[in-house]
Each structure stands twice: as structure tokens, then as C-alpha cells.
């Protein structure tokens, strides 16, 4: 849907692309190889208004639409997937639910500075014993007067070690299953809050991921997001938005891999001619280009529907499923086009190959996306 972009959106896209080429891409290999959190880039992203893009200006954000957000995120993802997911989580998983569900007082304290990029947020839903089944979470919240005490462990928390605050999902009553899930805004300095194991990962190594340990973490009632039992609804709405972001991240990774493979194919000679002249390579490039175009249309469609206030659950799931699987295929084939060089850390396609895999897993696995899509298409038929 590039043909449907406004002049302002094209200007934003060009500005972010130029910024990423100059500032982000040159550091990506270093950050990845040393597993260094991209904190050096966050002030720059904040200065461009990218840390709270869809947050209204009165709460410190850029007041952008969802389509503008994905345009910027694609450029960032093509340059450095680790930096992109750091920005994406702050936008969609932290600022997003606060915009929709927080009180005015909560927004004043926990949204404005995060949307400006002065502080960093995170989202803590997954646990060691439950990921795709959030209704089975075990972190308990017990109310005592005007305070809740949270006890449990969260894992795979993106931005966890560097977050100033996070939205944590608990249950106030395990027997109520999803109806007992309750969300809280928790500051890193709260009593009983601690960061656990820092994870070492296959890809997006510069993105920080950790456990969160809650040992009777003391959280004021005023920090409850919504009412008791609203947590499941908050989590699902948030993940719907987040899937558009992860679909975009996958699109950016796939685009980066394709760009390197295409350029290499024109420069690498075999049997006296560029390998791009061989049908075997041409077909790979053709399929890469086709998957990217189709994936971008799916992302832009989901973002446009969200902007128009229309339902987009199915379209977001389709965008994430298609783009994550396409990114993995494109990255794999890019390694193949480069041959032995593709297997070396001297070339970026091995990083794209590693980074792509997570997009099939976090914020809803590919298996979960197929369930979501199937339920939606059957619902449309009254099935």
C-alpha cells in the first residue's frame, strides 16, 4: 500500500530511513556481537519522536497513526532488529495499554515520560510455566488494604533489565482462570521487585531479555491498571496491536536480507558471469521480492484498519504469521545465495538469519496465529 501513503508519511519514511542508514545500521554488528543494549540510540530515537509514536501529544507522544508507526519501524528493523524491538515494546506493549486503559493520574506519572523516551517500559505476561496460555499464569496478587503484594516469576521480558516500569499481569484468584487476571504498573524500585537471570539468545542479542522476580512486591492499589479481572482483556488487546509491530519487524529483517542477497548476486562471478544471471538465483530473488511485497501489504492493511477503528484481529495475525515465516525463508535463502560467505559473521545475513527466528515465537507463536485466524474466519461464517 505504498501507493496509498500521504506526503507526510513518505517524508517520515525517508527521514527515518536516512537516520537509520547513518546512525543505526553502522552499529548493528557491534551491538549484536557484544550483546550490548542499544541505549546509545534511545535518546536519538526519542528526539525523533519514535519512542511514543501513537501516543497523543498531550501525553508526550508524537500523535502519529499506526501506519506511520509501522513505516518507521520497518526502517529501524531493517537496520537493527534489536534496536527496533526495544522501541516497539515501549510503543505498543507499554505505552499502548496505558493510552487505552490507564487513569489520568496513571498517564501523568507513567506515560508521558515514557512516550517522550525519557524512561523505558516493558510488558510482563509470560511465565516459566505458561506462555501461549496466559489464563494459566501463576503470579499471584494479594490485596491487603490499599496495597497489593505480588509474588511469582516472569520470564522472556524484553527490556526487562533496563525498564523503569513495566505492566505486570497477575491473578487475584487462580480458580477464576482468565477472569482473575489483573494488571499492574510496577516500578523497578518497588520493594520486592528484582531482575533475575539475563538471557543469552540466538538472535536479537542486543535487545535485553530477563526474568522478573516478585517476592511480595509491594504495589499500591492506585497502580492497578483497570479493575480486578480486566487483565486478560488488556493483555489480548495489547497483543493484537503488538502483532502488527512484530510483523513489521519481520518485514524489515526480510528486506535487509533480500537487499544484501540481491547486491551480492550482481557482484559475485561464477563461470565467467554474475550469479544473478543464473535462473536458480533469479528465482530465489523473485520469490524474496514477492514475499516482501505481499507481507508489506498485509502489514499496511492491518495498520490502516487499526487507524480507522475497524476490527483487525485477523489481519494482524495474518500479517505476523506471513511476515515472520517469510523473513525466516528469505534470510535462509540469502545465506544460500552468499554461499560460504553467508555463513560468516563478516556478512550480515547470518545475523538476519538468527534475528528472524524470534518473530515466529514472541507475541504469539505461528501456531497461535493460525488458531486466531481460523477462529476469525469461522466466526465470519457463523461457524
Point out the residues that are catalytic: 363
Reported in sequence order, the residue ranges of the chain that DSSP labels E, i.e. its strands, are: 121-124, 140-144, 147-158, 165-171, 181-187, 193-198, 209-220, 224-225, 269-270, 273-274
Q: Give residues with Cβ within 8 angstroms of 211, minimum separation 6.
A: 153, 154, 155, 157, 160, 195, 196, 197, 199
Q: Are 292 and 330 in contact (CB under 8 A)?
A: yes
Helix (H) / strand (E) element for 239: namely: helix 231-267
Cα–Cα distance for residue pair 183/171, rounded to 1 Å: 8
Q: Count of residues for the chain? A: 383
Distance separating alpha carbons of residues 143 and 223, to the nearest angstrom: 12
Q: Are 99 and 59 in contact (CB under 8 A)?
A: yes
375: phi then psi, degrees, rounded to nearest 5: -65, -40
- ∠ at Cα 277 (274, 283), nearest 5°? 125
Phi, psi of 166 (to 5 degrees): -150, 155
Does residue 376 contact residue 314 with C-beta atoms inside 8 Å? yes
Q: What pairs with residue 213 in β-bridges?
A: 153, 194
Rg of the Cα atoms in the chain = 21
**DSSP category for residue 172:** S
C-alpha cell at 356: 528472524
DSSP code per residue over 7-41: HHHHHHHHHHHHHIIIIIHHHHHHHHHTT---TTT
Amino acid at each position: 500500500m505504498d501507493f496509498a501513503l500521504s506526503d507526510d508519511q513518505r517524508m517520515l519514511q525517508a527521514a527515518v530511513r536516512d537516520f537509520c542508514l547513518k546512525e543505526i545500521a553502522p552499529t548493528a554488528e557491534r551491538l549484536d556481537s557484544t550483546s550490548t543494549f542499544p541505549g546509545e540510540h534511545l535518546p536519538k530515537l526519542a528526539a525523533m519522536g519514535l519512542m511514543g509514536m501513537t501516543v497523543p501529544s498531550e501525553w508526550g507522544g508524537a500523535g502519529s497513526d499506526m501506519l506511520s508507526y509501522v513505516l518507521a519501524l520497518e526502517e529501524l528493523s531493517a537496520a537493527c532488529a534489536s534496536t527496533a524491538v526495544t522501541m516497539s515494546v515501549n510503543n505498543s506493549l507499554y505505552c499502548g495499554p496505558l493510552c487505552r486503559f490507564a487513569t489520568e493520574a496513571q498517564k501523568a506519572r507513567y506515560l508521558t515520560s515514557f512516550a517522550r523516551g525519557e524512561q523505558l517500559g516493558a510488558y510482563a505476561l509470560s511465565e516459566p510455566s505458561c506462555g501461549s496460555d496466559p489464563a494459566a499464569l501463576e503470579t499471584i496478587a494479594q490485596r491487603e488494604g490499599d496495597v497489593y503484594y505480588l509474588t511469582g516469576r516472569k520470564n522472556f521480558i524484553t527490556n526487562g533489565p533496563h525498564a523503569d516500569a513495566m505492566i505486570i499481569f497477575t491473578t487475584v484468584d487462580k480458580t477464576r482462570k482468565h477472569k482473575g487476571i489483573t494488571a499492574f504498573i510496577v516500578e523497578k524500585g518497588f520493594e520486592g521487585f528484582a531482575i533475575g537471570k539475563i538471557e543469552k539468545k540466538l538472535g536479537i542479542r542486543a535487545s535485553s531479555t530477563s526474568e522478573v522476580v516478585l517476592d511480595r512486591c509491594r504495589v499500591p492499589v492506585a497502580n492497578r491498571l483497570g479493575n480486578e479481572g480486566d487483565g486478560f482483556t488488556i493483555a489480548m488487546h495489547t497483543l493484537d496491536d503488538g502483532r502488527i509491530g512484530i510483523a513489521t519487524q519481520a518485514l524489515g529483517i526480510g528486506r535487509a536480507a533480500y537487499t544484501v542477497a540481491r547486491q551480492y548476486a550482481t557482484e559475485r562471478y561464477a563461470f565467467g558471469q554474475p550469479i544473478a544471471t543464473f535462473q536458480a538465483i533469479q528465482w530465489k530473488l523473485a520469490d524474496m521480492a514477492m514475499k516482501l511485497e505481499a507481507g508489506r501489504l498485509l502489514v499496511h492493511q492491518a495498520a490502516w484498519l487499526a487507524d480507522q477503528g475497524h476490527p483487525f484481529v485477523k489481519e494482524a495475525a495474518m500479517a505476523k504469521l506471513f511476515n515472520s515465516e517469510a523473513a525466516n525463508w528469505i534470510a535462509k535463502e540469502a545465506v544460500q545465495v552468499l554461499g560460504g560467505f553467508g555463513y560468516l559473521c563478516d556478512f550480515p545475513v547470518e545475523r538476519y538469519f538468527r534475528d528472524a527466528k524470534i518473530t515466529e515465537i514472541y507475541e504469539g507463536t505461528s501456531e497461535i496465529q493460525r488458531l486466531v485466524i481460523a477462529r476469525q474466519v469461522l466466526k465470519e461464517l457463523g461457524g
